[in-house]
Structure 1
Amino acid sequence: MESSLWMPTRPWSLPFLADAEQVSSLRRALRTHLEYWGLHELRDAAELCVSELVANVIKHVGVGTPSTLIASLNGPHLRVEVHDPDPRALPTLACTGMDAEEGRGMMLVDAISDRWGVELTGDRKVTWCEFRMSVAGADRQTPMPRLARAADVLGLYSGSNSMSRPVGSGRLATAVAEEAAIDIITDLLYWFRVHGRDADDVLDQAQAHFEAESAARLS
């Protein structure tokens, strides 16, 4: 079964302080998550756009500004957002040549992404850009519901929404995911016991559901 079927339905977010030294870490974190989601073809473009969006915050809002990087699926597009608390400093396209040292940020975003924009939400600003996934990637965005929900729950138990390394990427992360899955099952067994249910009976029912659904998919 392809790992892309484990793609979570929840957006991934990473709070950060806008600083030039943080850019490389943000790029690595985003690359790791895009690899985890199976969107290898979008890594370079998304990384470059994130660098420009963060640089825009640093220059026009200020060094050390509390910000958030968010990646999510929006229909057939990968959506990357940078949130900052200043709705007044709006990014614009500068009419500069490509050899200019300043003013190129949003021009690069405009050229590399399929579309971009700015949303004002009260006391904060969201600058976003989107990249259309390939046909294969678009197919991957509709995973089997149970696997998508499982990925979401594993993310909660492993803390992958706040960590730079997600569940499901590499041998170490797989071990973390397995440990999280065991914790989930253990907690559920405690829950059933508290509510007067027999744990073995519950496990038997779950196994029966699993085998029935597996057989139905193979038929």
Structure 2
Amino acid sequence: MTSLSTPVQATTMGHPAYSQTFPCEASTAEIGRTVVRDILAIWHLDILADRAALVVTELIANATRHTSSREIRLIVRRPSAKRVRVAVVDRTPSRLPALSQADDEDEAGRGLFLIDAVADRWGYDLHGSGTRPWGKEVWAELHLSKGDE
């Protein structure tokens, strides 16, 4: 089982960010939720914690289910005072995320629909140069609404 061996330390000035590499396995989702909640608490953005925890759970689940990566990188950024970006980086750039229709009886296939429903926007970026990327970053952004400040 994977465990978080060091307490979360995220900067609170400038454009704060946190990133850590974890095994690409289902048990990492629980750690990811804890990390995201801890970071948002440090940044006094607890109001986003439930949405961010759901997003990170689905991003990690997708990476474990749809990639051959042995490790993933969890990244939590605060690109502005009113915006948080949660991302997972894997080393399988050939498997790009796409919304797909799941049947009522399907037990899987709704992760991106959930992300699409709770995030203000989401997408992916390829990592690497030229025509041979080494990986991709799938991300979702959460914005503070006027009443959340």
Q: TM-score, normalised by structure 1?
A: 0.56
Of Structure 1 and Structure 2, which has the larger fraction of its residues in strand? 2
Name 2:4's counterpart in structure 1: none
Matched, 1:126 2:131: no
Give unpaired runs (5+ residues) of structure 2: 1-10, 129-133
CA distance in 1, matches of 2:99, 2:74: 21
Of Structure 1 and Structure 2, which has the larger fraction of its residues in helix? 1
CA change 1:100–1:110 in 2 (3 A) is same
Contact in 1 for aligned 2:47/2:148 (Cα 8 Å)? no
Q: Give secondary structure in 2 for the equivalent of 1:20.
A: coil
Matched, 1:66 2:71: yes
Residue correspondences, number = 132
Name 1:155's counterpart in structure 2: none
Contact in 1 for aligned 2:86/2:140 (Cα 8 Å)? yes
Q: Give secondary structure in 2 for the equivalent of 1:55.
A: helix
Name 1:113's counterpart in structure 2: 119
Name 1:42's counterpart in structure 2: 48
Contact in 1 for aligned 2:76/2:87 (Cα 8 Å)? yes
Structure with larger Rg: 1
CA distance in 1, matches of 2:50, 2:66: 25
The one-letter code matched in structure 2 to 1:130 is E
CA distance in 2, matches of 1:40, 1:98: 33
Q: Give secondary structure in 2 for the equivalent of 1:107.
A: helix
Ranges of 4+ aligned residues in structure 1 off by more than 3 Å: 97-100, 134-138
What displacement does 1:27 show?
A: 0.7
Contact in 1 for aligned 2:73/2:88 (Cα 8 Å)? yes
The one-letter code matched in structure 2 to 1:119 is D
- Aligned-CA RMSD value: 1.9
Name 1:18's counterpart in structure 2: 24
What displacement does 1:96 show?
A: 2.1
Q: Percent identity at matched positions?
A: 34
After superposition, residues 44-193 of structure 1 pair within 5 angstroms as: 44-62=50-68, 65-75=70-80, 76-97=82-103, 100-122=106-128, 123-135=134-146
Contact in 2 for aligned 1:38/1:137 (Cα 8 Å)? no
Contact in 2 for aligned 1:98/1:104 (Cα 8 Å)? no
